[in-house]
Structure formats: structure tokens, C-alpha cells
Structure 1
Amino acid sequence: MPSPPRLVTVTSDNVEDACALRVRPDQDGLVKPVAWSLAQAYASPETAWPRLIVDDERIVGFVMAFLDVRFHPGEPDDRPRSGLWRLDIAAGQQTRGYGRFAVEAVNDELRRRGQTRTTVSYVPGEHGPERFYRKLGFRATGELSGDQVVAELELTDGSARIRIPARSSRQVECGRPGLSASRGNSLVTAATATASAGRASGWSSRSR
């Protein structure tokens, strides 16, 4: 019986294979390479949480969370947030549920760390991942990061509870993890917009 997918750390034994991970050619302009993400993780070890998605000993994707980042450091009531920074599913491994698995794994890690919400940002529109995130329980907060929508999922011990914060639209001017002003932190192909929540197809988070 095949084992379920799992997350593993990036090591000297698998880093070369990790950097060789590629999305589909039509997605190249929408995602940062894994090597780029690992360089950012190296430069920000206190913020980045990178992991490989492995299924049956094959690397099928890459996910990286951000931890305890303040989006509005100049505001006294600003709270640290944690959430999804990057998500890459390899070409040929898309539409198999690995995207949802990765999001849920990040949620579990954040719960373990005592967090109560998962944050993500994405470009809205026909080819964006809004439908995917909404099926997982994420709801827009009313904030914007450049041209991106900021969304959050409230976490409970074993499940997600939908929460829509009552706040007006505001512009987030921040280049920190999880909030990119260029091309979108989370991007998705048209296939994902019509897939079920358990079949995330070809989407990847990025930030500058």
C-alpha cells in the first residue's frame, strides 16, 4: 500500500534534486525557482520554513511558510502573522492533491507553534487561486499587498473555521515574506480554478 505524501527538510542529500524541480513551461514566468526560495530561506532562517513535498520517495513539490512577520511594523496594534510564502508543484505532478496537502501541512505546523491563523496573498482574477483558497476556508481580510488580495484562515485544533474580519480596504506597503507587490505571491493556472479543492493544479506562491 503506497504511503501518503509527507514534508521533509532540505538537506545536502536532496538539495540538488530540490533545485531541479520545475513547474510547467507556461508557468515559468509566474513562479520563483526553488533555488531562489532556498536562498531567501538561508538569508532569513528566523522567518522562513522551507520543506519538500515527497510522495513515494519522489520530490513532487516545494512549500515554504513565513513565520511571525509584521505587515505594519509602524502601527502599535500590528500583530505578527504567519502563513504561506511559496508553493511549487512540479510539472507532471499537478492536479493530484499535493497543493491542498501542502497547505494543510503548513496549517498543522502553525497550530503546533501556537498560531491561530494562516495568512496568504494572491492575485485576484480568472486565473488566480481565489477559488482554491476559498474552498480551503480562507477569506479576504480587506487588505491589499500591491495588486494582491490578503486572505486569512482561522485555525482550530483540528479544523478550519471561516472568519471574515471587519476591516476596510487598505494598502499594504511591505516587501516582507508573504506580501509581494510583484506578479503575485500565489498564482494559479486556469485549471485550478475549475478543479476541486483537493486537486490544486499547477499553482505556486512567490514574493520578491
Structure 2
Amino acid sequence: MITLRPVERDDLHPLFRLKVTAEQDGWVAPNEFTLAQAPYETGAYVFAIRNDDEIVGLLAMIDFREHAYVMEGEDREAANLWRLLIGADHQNKGYGRAAMGLAFDWARARGNPRFGTSVVPENAAGLAFYRSLGLEPTGLIVDGETVLSRDL
């Protein structure tokens, strides 16, 4: 069963060992970077994605209502998927899709009316994945990434 749990101390080494495929390298930050950066991002929440007791990925959210650095044009009411990394050995098993469903539930429970993320335009598989979950391009480009959004 897939769950999202806030990252704890004992999760660090398993999360550090997770890497993406060579093709995906450069499209998502390594978990070490996300975990180091998260304490300095207001409104950030970082979760270990677990399949039962095994850590298979990391999901990080930013609630833009709490975030001090919302950029021009970004939706200040949205929960924003900041990072999603499923380890290469765990991909194509439905873990990312299940984790995203839990992320939508998390955002709804917090009262966010919308959910957003961004993706590197060259990442066609990532764009297709997010679109299959109902996220649609907004026309906004932030830091060179295509912004997507959906109502909750």
C-alpha cells in the first residue's frame, strides 16, 4: 500500500540512495538537494513515498499560501508539487500516480482550491504524466518550466 509520510531521520539514507534514470537526470533535483533546501522554503512539506515499509520515492509540496517567494503569475492559493522523485528501480509500477492521488488529498484536506506544478518542457513523459492526472498547462513559464494546474 502506498503512503506519504513526513520524512524522518531514519529515512535519509534510503532517500539518498534513490536515483532517477540517466534519461531523467537533470529534470528533477536529487533528494539530497530537496532535503537540504526544504528548511529554507517557507510552506514546504517533504514526504517519503512508501510501498508498505519500503521507501520508493520522495514527494515535496509547497503551500503557496505559506510561501514567501511566490513568483509573478503563480497561484497564491494553490498547493504546488515542488519535487517528485521515484527511484529508477521503482518506476512504472504506479507509485507516482498513487503518490499524486495522495498529494491531491493532502491539498484538499488543507483547503487548497487548486493544485499546481511545473515541468521542464523537454520532459515529454513528465508532461504527459501530469496531464493524465488532470493538470493542464496554464501558459505561464517560470524559471524555464511549463506551469500546470488543476482545480481540486
TM-score bracket, shorter-length normalisation: 0.7 to 0.9
Using the TM superposition, give the Cα deviation of residue 25 of structure 1 relative to its aligned residue in structure 2, in angstroms: 3.4
| 1:70-89 to 2 correspondences below 5 Å | 70-72=70-72, 79-89=76-86
What SS is found at the alignment partner of 2:89? Answer: coil
Asked whether 1:47 is paired with 2:52, we answer no
Equivalent of 1:6 in 3, 17, 21 = 3
Read off the aligned partner of 1:61 and give its amino acid letter: G
Asked whether 1:36 is paired with 2:33, we answer yes
1:83–1:106 CA contact under 8 A, matched in 2: no
Runs ≥4 in structure 1, deviation > 4 angstroms?
none
Using the TM superposition, give the Cα deviation of residue 81 of structure 1 relative to its aligned residue in structure 2, in angstroms: 3.0
Read off the aligned partner of 1:130 and give its amino acid letter: L
Taking structure 1 as the reference length, the TM-score comes to: 0.65
Aligned counterpart, 2:62: 66
Quick check: which one's helix share is greater? 2
Equivalent of 1:92 in 89, 99, 106 = 89
Using the TM superposition, give the Cα deviation of residue 56 of structure 1 relative to its aligned residue in structure 2, in angstroms: 2.6
Change (3 A) 1:43 1:79: closer
Q: How many residues align?
A: 148
Unmatched runs of 5 consecutive residues or more in structure 1:
156-208
For residues 143 and 86 of structure 1, the distance between their equivalents in structure 2, rounded to whole angstroms, comes to 18
1:84–1:119 CA contact under 8 A, matched in 2: yes
What SS is found at the alignment partner of 2:124? Answer: coil
2:2–2:99 CA contact under 8 A, matched in 1: no
Using the TM superposition, give the Cα deviation of residue 39 of structure 1 relative to its aligned residue in structure 2, in angstroms: 0.9
Using the TM superposition, give the Cα deviation of residue 126 of structure 1 relative to its aligned residue in structure 2, in angstroms: 6.6
Aligned counterpart, 1:184: none
Read off the aligned partner of 1:79 and give its amino acid letter: R
| 1:99-114 to 2 correspondences below 5 Å | 99-114=96-111
What SS is found at the alignment partner of 1:84? Answer: strand
Instruction: State the percentage of identical aligned residues.
Output: 35
For residues 90 and 83 of structure 2, the distance between their equivalents in structure 1, rounded to whole angstroms, comes to 17
* Structure possessing the higher radius of gyration over alpha carbons: 1
| 1:1-208 to 2 correspondences below 5 Å | 4-44=1-41, 46-68=42-64, 69=67, 70-72=70-72, 79-125=76-122, 127-155=124-152
What SS is found at the alignment partner of 1:27? Answer: coil
